[in-house]
Amino acid sequence: AQKVTQAQTEISVVEKEDVTLDCVYETRDTTYYLFWYKQPPSGELVFLIRRNSFDEQNEISGRYSWNFQKSTSSFNFTITASQVVDSAVYFCALSEAEAGNNRKLIWGLGTSLAVNP
Amino acid sequence: EAGVAQSPRYKIIEKRQSVAFWCNPISGHATLYWYQQILGQGPKLLIQFQNNGVVDDSQLPKDRFSAERLKGVDSTLKIQPAKLEDSAVYLCASSFGRGNTEAFFGQGTRLTVV
């Protein structure tokens, strides 16, 4: 079954700490895409990154970095030197192929991150 | 670039009443999605449009929910009659492609059914 698991429901850290959000997925596809979205208290979902299944290179964008490991079906997200503005719910999602060339997003339940001053 | 616009931001209705939400996607985005997000859960896809055609509505409770995307641009989602369990945030998103490209989300409409 296709599934995205975010085992950490809530994480609380103190500002400037590093924090890693875990994401484990299951899929039958050989071609798929993985995403991370941020949902701040204002409610909108903000796109952070998309990674396709053929690209296992880690990615860094400022304080954000992502570690994609197909061997363990994981796509973990690390925030370095966390800030209060990073407080949000973070969702990992998997996009896999369906019939008719459509793709559907499968969402994890999200990890609520609180960064305290 | 303007983002996805949704209205209203908040709505409180009594059960059995009807309600409608409106979404204007990013210009040029062919794919439009309506999601339902219940507190503490991830978004659940209700319906996906490609231009003005429905691609996926398998999780739309069709006895009470309806959606349309006339002319392949704006979209409305309607609930009639509403139930208590419909209380949720309704998110509209749009993307250039069909699910393997990043989707851009609006701020959502928070619906409370009392």
Give tens-digit pLDDT for A58-108. Answer: 888 999 999 999 999 999 999 999 999 999 999 999 987 665 556 678 899
A35 in contact with chain B, both atoms CB, cutoff 8 A: yes
Q: Which comes out higher in pLDDT, residue A33 or B88?
A: B88
Q: Which comes out higher in pLDDT, residue A63 or B41?
A: A63
φ and ψ at residue B104, rounded to 5 degrees? -110, 130
Chosen for mutation from A21, A27, A42, A45 (greatest number of chain B CBs closer than 10 Å) is: A45
Share of chain B above pLDDT 90, in %: 74
Nearest to B51 by CA among B22, B25, B78: B25
pLDDT score for A96: 76
Q: Does B99 have pLDDT greater than 70?
A: no
Return left, alpha or beta for B110; rule: phi > 0 is left, psi -120 to 50 is alpha, else beta: beta
Nearest to B52 by CA among B75, B82, B80: B75
A111 in contact with chain B, both atoms CB, cutoff 8 A: no
Judge whether B47 and B76 are in contact, CB under 8 Å.
no
- Residues B72-109 as b/e (b if ≥16 CB within 10 A, e otherwise) read eeebebebeebeeebbbbbbbbbbeebbbbbbbbbbbb
CB B102 to CB A35 under 8 A?
Answer: yes
pLDDT score for B69: 95
pLDDT score for B37: 94
Per-residue pLDDT of B48-88, as tens digits, reads: 998 889 988 999 999 999 999 988 899 999 999 999 999 99
A68 in contact with chain B, both atoms CB, cutoff 8 A: no
| Chain A residue with minimum CA distance to B50 | A102
pLDDT score for A97: 65
What is the residue-averaged pLDDT of chain A?
Answer: 90
